[in-house]
Structure 1
């Protein structure tokens, strides 16, 4: 990181703020976005965006839904939304990083598949 990313105390400050991420979600033409779509509009990668979205989700700012085998979509929480807390049904896995571990493994799997496809089909 450059010196311009340091705050007055010398600590690094994020080059992309939560407001930047939320702004992209607010301006989106679709009601939901993937981390990849958000990352395409920011100077940080998909993994960093996903981590920030997970943090925003834990604070109740955004909501998420798994769609398909390995895709997750995100949207800003409607303050009037009374969505139940599905994590309460996770039992012994509640308050663990299982969700993040599964997403990481899924991304690694997807990357491996893409690399094999490229090798086989020359894309």
Structure 2
């Protein structure tokens, strides 16, 4: 099914929500790499990275480089 377009802007509406990415992290015990989250949400790695990065900017998740890999950590608050 192709993405839907917003009638006013003509932009495609996202197929996912913040909660989809947060739930994926919960299912992965609160700590995961971008590819793991992308696989669970069923999106590209690039989409997952941008979405998780936005969540980190909002303070919903923490990003940490561990062993040269970017790791996302669910905020425990």
- Scaled by the length of structure 1, the TM-score of the pair is 0.54
Contact residue 64 and residue 72 of structure 2 kept, 8 A:
yes
Q: Please identify which structure carries the higher helix content.
A: 1
Hey, what's the Cα distance between the residues in 2 that align with 1:39 and 1:63? 17
Hey, what's the Cα distance between the residues in 2 that align with 1:31 and 1:17? 17
Q: Please identify which structure carries the higher strand content.
A: 2
In structure 1, list runs of 5 or more residues that go unmatched. Answer: 80-123
Higher relative contact order (CA 8 A, sep 6+): 2
Count, aligned residues: 76
Hey, what's the Cα distance between the residues in 2 that align with 1:51 and 1:67? 19
Query: Which stretches of structure 1, 4 residues or longer, exceed 4 Å deviation after superposition?
Result: none
Q: Which residue of 1 aligns with 2:4?
A: 5
Is 2:54 aligned against 1:76? Answer: no
Hey, what's the Cα distance between the residues in 2 that align with 1:31 and 1:53? 13
- Scaled by the length of structure 2, the TM-score of the pair is 0.81
Bigger CA radius of gyration = 1
